[in-house]
Amino acid sequence: MNGNEGLLQLKGVSKIFGRATIDEVTALDNVNLNVHAEDFMTIIGSNGAGKTTLLNVIAGVYPPERGGKTIINGKDITNLSEHKHAQYIGRVYQDPHTGTASKMTIEENMSLAMLRGQARGLSIATNKQRRDQFCEALAPLGLGLENRLTTQVGTLSGGQRQALALVMATISQPSLLLLDEHTATLDPKTARIVLELSEVIVQREKITTMMVTHNMEVALRYGNRLIMMHKGRIIVDLSHEQRKNLTVNDLVTAFERASGEHFADDTILLSTADPDEKPDNEQ
């Protein structure tokens, strides 16, 4: 792996939906991005800025427009199908229902996740050894899921499901972890817990991470790099040094300067009602 080239490179990535119709949308507009190994990047941007589309292209849900390239670990994966992308990439979606299978048990979900990047064969999917591994991975969540391996996932709460999805996304040590507003549907307290868990896992497993959030406070607090998207482009890219002493207001100013627009999007929450704001006993 060529260190300074970065773990993930996007070169000239565009995505246009509904081409040549009246609904044509340029969701990504010639995006170039270099994500370094062990970066923890937070991504913010107004609704429709192209954040989810960016993650979808990286995950291979659909390919970028012709000419765009997705390179991971030095390997061009642009035209590989989604399940082949998945051998490098773990993902947690906004909706807990997308990342887990409700009618299957916790251990069945975990078994599916553990085989990421491996050939699936004709041996029985769950055995004693794997169950022990699942317990080991679930226990640190502190939710008691390790004692409920045969419980159907559909009976878990949204927070529990997202925590499970997080473990499922990371258990097979992917090169890259994509988190797409994965706490947006949770109540503030649970959202906080799941965020903290995400950080713990990312740091422990040293996984390169891209986390989309709608919350500026969160974007500033977590990770070591911040990008801001607007109309399909990356308009602000702040390194750890640059964003160290920034406040939400500084971010708003940066947005206005870079986009040339007045900041009027209330979908980027300024999170005053969020428990995230209270530093509690940490810091």
Partner 1 sequence: MDVLVNLLSASFYEGLAFGLVAIGVYLTFRVLAFPDLTVDGSFALGGAVAAILIVNDINPWLATVAALGAGLCAGLATSLLNTKLRITALLAGILMMVALYSINLMVMTGRSNIGLLRQVTVFDQVSQFLGIDDKVTLSIIFMVVLTVIILVILNWFLRTEIGLALRATGENEQMVRGLGGNTDMTTVLGVSISNGVVALSGALIAQHDSTADVGMGLGMIVMGLASVIIGEALFHPRGVTAILLAVIGGTFTYRLFINIALRYNWVSAGNLKLITALLVIIALAIPYIQKKMRHEWVPPAARM
Ligand X SMILES: Nc1ncnc2c1ncn2[C@@H]1O[C@H](COP(=O)(O)OP(=O)(O)O)[C@@H](O)[C@H]1O
Q: Report the 10 Å Cβ neighbour count for 238.
A: 21
- Phi/psi for 55 (5° steps) reads -65, -35
The residue from 5, 30, 48, 97 that contacts ligand X (CB under 6 A) is 48
Q: How far is the CB of 126 from ligand X (least distance, A)?
A: 35
Burial level of 75, CB count in 10 A (0-12/13-18/19+)?
exposed
User: Is there a contact between 159 and 184 (Cβ–Cβ < 8 Å)?
Assistant: no
Question: Minimum Å distance from CB 100 to partner 1?
Answer: 7
Q: Which helix (H) or strand (E) holds 121?
A: none
Kind of pairing between the strands at 69-72 and 75-76 = antiparallel
Query: Does residue 161 contact residue 96 with C-beta atoms inside 8 Å?
Result: yes
Instruction: Establish if 64 lies at the interface with ligand X (CB under 6 A).
Output: no
53 scored as a contact of ligand X (CB under 6 A): yes
Piece of 14-22, 36-44, 63-71, 100-108 that binds partner 1 (CB under 8 A): 100-108
Q: Does 103 help bind partner 1 (rule: CB under 8 A)?
A: yes
CA dihedral sign of residues 136, 142, 143, 147? positive
| 99 belongs to the binding site for partner 1 (CB under 8 A) | yes
Any contact of residue 97 with partner 1 (CB under 8 A)? yes
> Total residues at the site for ligand X (CB under 6 A)?
12
- Nearer to ligand X (CB atom), residue 48 or residue 117: 48
Site string for Mg ion, 41-80 (x = CB under 5 A): -----------x----------------------------
Q: Which of 195, 178, 179 is nearest to 274 (CA)?
A: 195
The alpha carbon of residue 231 and the mean position of all alpha carbons in its chain are separated, in whole angstroms, by 20
The residue range among 1-9, 41-49, 63-71, 249-257 that interacts with ligand X, by the rule CB under 6 A, is: 41-49
| Nearest distance in Å: CB 140, partner 1 | 21
Q: Does 25 bind ligand X (CB under 6 A)?
A: yes
Report DSSP state, residue 153.
G
**Of 14, 42, 44, 50, which one interacts with ligand X (CB under 6 A)?**
50
- What region, left, alpha or beta, does residue 280 occupy, with left being phi > 0 and alpha being psi -120 to 50 degrees? left
**214 scored as a contact of ligand X (CB under 6 A):** no
Distance CA 181, CA 261 (A): 24
Q: Which residues bind partner 1 (CB under 8 A)?
A: 59, 81-84, 86-87, 91, 93, 97-104, 108, 111-113, 115-118, 120-126, 168
Q: Which residues bind ligand X (CB under 6 A)?
A: 17-18, 25, 27, 45, 47-53
